[in-house]
Amino acid sequence: MNNINELAQLVDKAVRTVRITDIHTHLFSECFGSLFLYGIDELLTYHYLVAEAMRQIDMDGPSFYKMSKRDQAQCVWDALFIKNSPVSEPARSIITIFNKLGLDVNNKDLNYYREYFRSVSLKEHIDRVFDTVSLKCVVMTNDPLDKTESAVWEEGYVKDDRFKAALRVDRILNGWEDSLSELKKLGFDVHSDLSGRTIEEIKRFLVEHIDRMEALYCAVSLPPDFTMFDGSIRAKIIDSCILPVCREKNIPFALMIGVKRAVNPELELAGDSLAKADIKELEYLCSNYKNNKFLVTLLSLENQHELVVTARKFSNLMIFGCWWYLNSPSLIDQITRIRIEWLGTSFIPQHSDCRVFEQLISKWEHSKTVISRVLVEKYSDLFAMNYKVTEEQIKRDVENLFGGNFWNFIKAYNL
Ligand code: RAT
Ligand code: ZN
């Protein structure tokens, strides 16, 4: 490689062609039927957009959600795409999706887009999106206590290797009293105070589902004030069920910390917010459970620097993604820089968190652009000192960042 332009082209090519593993999404494969969300009405009623639209619409949350999905979509469209310009990250994403699917981005009639999605063959559409993004696979979020989902695992599940599973344990850890009756109904001998056989039974429940789903990891989202020292049922279940089972199965425990649920309950899914978490909790987990692997993402920007430093201390900690409110270009740029500057390439720069299938296109398109730019800059600094980065080196680094690091972490026994 002879100059910076050539370097930029090589990085761009490597990032555009690498086959991505998207380690956290809320997508489902086709066999899950109504859980597979796609098309313009789902895209426009994505909670990231609803929250934004509600600032422009003269209506309260309950009235908005009372409308049909079609009417909600029209409402968001009018508010954010007709009466205002789609410059926010969630709104721009819709335009990116239209653009990449070859649609007219200037058509103001929603029916034009509806017609497009009505006419596509779902199978071809799925192949096309995987191809456009250059995706190897996505990891779903699988809730074992969700009735619609469980029904498919019990009957009708068809394995599609592009959709991997992750066992989500929010209900057990964040809503123990409610999940208790569900577990009992499923035949598990569990008690509110964790007495008797409860610990063994929760472990049996976890193992059964990890095996059935072939779950790659176990995951939970947690509030900013999450602590292992509050004597809570949650802390006890993590210590005596989740972490032992993860060790036994050699799978990571994914912690997504910093979400403040239902700050405005009227907005439903769109009503969650964030706050800074206490990094001490993570240090405690990584150092006291050395034989466990932790995949971690934190929601607050203020946590990112200390998270990177913590990852330098513990090799059983793999940090991932620019989660939710951090998934916008300026923040991805800043966070990726800090991570590279202190961890080299030993982290997972992004996951998509998609809920609607076509969001894979925009979320990855936007992230790739930023990550590629940061990489070019870092290689250029080396190049300026006559250090020759080879094409093979670039490809290796990019492959590690967009999938390799995840798979190696999953496979590793001794970290
Ligand atoms: O990003 C999102 O869609 C959030 O609503 C959450 O689902 C979050 O990502 C989570 O996994 O809890
Ligand atoms: Zn998520």
Distances from the Cα of 194 to the Cα of 168, 188, 222, angstroms = 20, 12, 21
By the 8 A CB rule, do 393 and 344 touch? no
Flag whether 288 is in a domain. yes
Helix axes 69-77, 110-119, angle to 10 degrees: 130
Flag whether 323 is in a domain. yes
Flag whether 256 is in a domain. yes
What CA–CA distance (Å, rounded) separates 64 from 57? 9
Which residues fall within 8 angstroms of residue 135, CB to CB, at 6 or more apart?
Answer: 19, 20, 22, 129, 162, 360, 364
- Report residues whose beta carbon is within 6 angstroms of any ligand 1 atom: 26, 221, 256, 269, 324, 353, 355
What CA–CA distance (Å, rounded) separates 350 from 298? 12
Flag whether 253 is in a domain. yes
So what's the ipTM on this one? 0.97
Single out the residue of 334, 328, 256, 258 nearest to residue 300, CA to CA. 258
Question: Measured from the CA of 353, which atom of ligand 1 is nearest?
Answer: 1
Tally of domains within the chain:
1
- The tokens for 178 are 């409610």
Q: Whose CA is nearest to atom 10 of ligand 1?
A: 221
| Residue 270 CA to ligand 1 centre (angstroms) | 10
DSSP states along 69-117: HHHHHHHHHIIIIISS---SHHHHHHHHHHHHTT--TT---HHHHHHHH
Flag whether 250 is in a domain. yes
Flag whether 60 is in a domain. no
Q: Whose CA is nearest to atom 1 of ligand 1?
A: 324
Contacts by 7-12, CB closer than 8 A, 24 or more apart: 7/376, 7/379, 7/380, 7/383, 7/389, 8/376, 10/391, 10/394, 11/372, 11/375, 11/376, 11/379, 11/394, 11/398, 12/372, 12/376
If one residue of 35, 298, 353, 357 were mutated to test the ligand 1 pocket, choosing by the most ligand atoms within 8 A of its CB, it would be: 353
DSSP states along 179-220: HHHHHHHTT----TT--TTHHHHHHHHHHHHHHHHT-S-EEE
Flag whether 347 is in a domain. yes
- The tokens for 82 are 């007709």
> Whose structure tokens read 């909600």?
72
Supply the mean pLDDT for the chain: 98
Q: Whose CA is nearest to atom 5 of ligand 1?
A: 269
Flag whether 404 is in a domain. yes
Print pLDDT tens along the chain (415 aa): 779 999 999 999 999 999 999 999 999 999 999 999 999 999 999 999 999 999 999 999 999 999 999 999 999 999 999 999 999 999 999 999 999 999 999 999 999 999 999 999 999 999 999 999 999 999 999 999 999 999 999 999 999 999 999 999 999 999 999 999 999 999 999 999 999 999 999 999 999 999 999 999 999 999 999 999 999 999 999 999 999 999 999 999 999 999 999 999 999 999 999 999 999 999 999 999 999 999 999 999 999 999 999 999 999 999 999 999 999 999 999 999 999 999 999 999 999 999 999 999 999 999 999 999 999 999 999 999 999 999 999 999 999 999 999 999 999 987 7
Tell me the three state secondary structure of residue 62: helix
| Residue 272 CA to ligand 1 centre (angstroms) | 9
Q: Which domain holds residue 401?
A: 4-38+133-411
The domain that holds 148 is classified in CATH as: 3.20.20.140
If one residue of 22, 25, 26 were mutated to test the ligand 1 pocket, choosing by the most ligand atoms within 8 A of its CB, it would be: 26
If one residue of 46, 221, 360, 362 were mutated to test the ligand 1 pocket, choosing by the most ligand atoms within 8 A of its CB, it would be: 221
Residue 202 CB-half CA count within 13 A: 30
